[in-house]
Amino acid sequence: MTDAPSPADLAPSWEAMVRGLDAQLAAARVRRDIAAGGPAAPAGVVIVGPMGAGKTTVGRLVAERLSLAFVDADDLFVRAHGPIPAFFAEHGEPAFRREEERVVAHVLDRPDPCVLACGGGVVLSAATRRRLAASPALVVSLTVAEEEALRRVGGGAGRPVLAGDPAGTWRRILAERAPLYREVAGAEVDGTGRPPSEAASRIVDLMIPPTPRSRTRP
163-174, pLDDT tens digit by residue? 677 888 899 999
Q: Could you tell me the strand order of the sheet in which 114-117 lies?
A: 69-72, 114-117, 45-48, 138-143, 187-190
Instruction: Report yes or no on whether pTM surpasses 0.85.
Output: yes
Q: Is residue 2 part of a domain?
A: no
CATH number of the domain to which 184 belongs: 3.40.50.300
Q: What is the pLDDT of residue 22?
A: 97
Q: What is the pLDDT of residue 154?
A: 73
Q: What is the pLDDT of residue 35?
A: 72
The answer on whether 55 is annotated among ligand-binding residues is yes
Q: What is the pLDDT of residue 126?
A: 96
**Which stretch of 1-5, 21-25, 124-128, 160-164 has the lowest confidence by average pLDDT?**
1-5
Angle, CA 190 vertex, CA 189 and CA 196 arms, to 5°: 90
* CA proximity to 112, closest of 26, 208, 14, 217: 26
Separation between Cα atoms, residue 51 and residue 111, nearest integer Å: 28
Mean pLDDT of 147-175: 79
Q: Is residue 99 part of a domain?
A: yes
The answer on whether 155 is annotated among ligand-binding residues is no
The answer on whether 169 is annotated among ligand-binding residues is no
Q: Taking a C-beta distance cutoff of 8 angstroms, is the pair 105, 92 a contact?
A: no
The answer on whether 79 is annotated among ligand-binding residues is no
Q: What is the pLDDT of residue 41?
A: 53
User: Which one has a higher pLDDT value, 90 or 6?
Assistant: 90
The answer on whether 157 is annotated among ligand-binding residues is no
Q: Is residue 158 part of a domain?
A: yes
Summarised one tens digit per residue, pLDDT across range 3-39 is 445 555 568 999 999 999 999 999 999 888 877 655 5
Quote the domain boundaries for residue 156: 12-207
When pLDDT is cut at 50, 70 and 90, the band that residue 151 belongs to is confident
Q: What is the pLDDT of residue 215?
A: 47
**What phi and psi values does residue 208 have, to the nearest 5 degrees?**
-115, 105
* CA proximity to 132, closest of 173, 186, 177: 186
Q: Which amino acid is at 101?
A: E
The answer on whether 74 is annotated among ligand-binding residues is yes
When pLDDT is cut at 50, 70 and 90, the band that residue 216 belongs to is very low
Q: Is residue 6 part of a domain?
A: no
Q: Is residue 218 part of a domain?
A: no
Residue 1 has pLDDT above 70, yes or no: no
Residue 214 has pLDDT above 50, yes or no: no
The answer on whether 54 is annotated among ligand-binding residues is yes
Q: Is residue 81 part of a domain?
A: yes
Q: Is residue 4 part of a domain?
A: no
The answer on whether 36 is annotated among ligand-binding residues is no
The answer on whether 120 is annotated among ligand-binding residues is yes
The answer on whether 165 is annotated among ligand-binding residues is no
Distances, alpha carbon 117 to alpha carbons 13, 59, 153, in Å: 20, 6, 16
The answer on whether 56 is annotated among ligand-binding residues is yes
The answer on whether 159 is annotated among ligand-binding residues is yes
Number of domains in the chain: 1
Q: Is residue 123 part of a domain?
A: yes
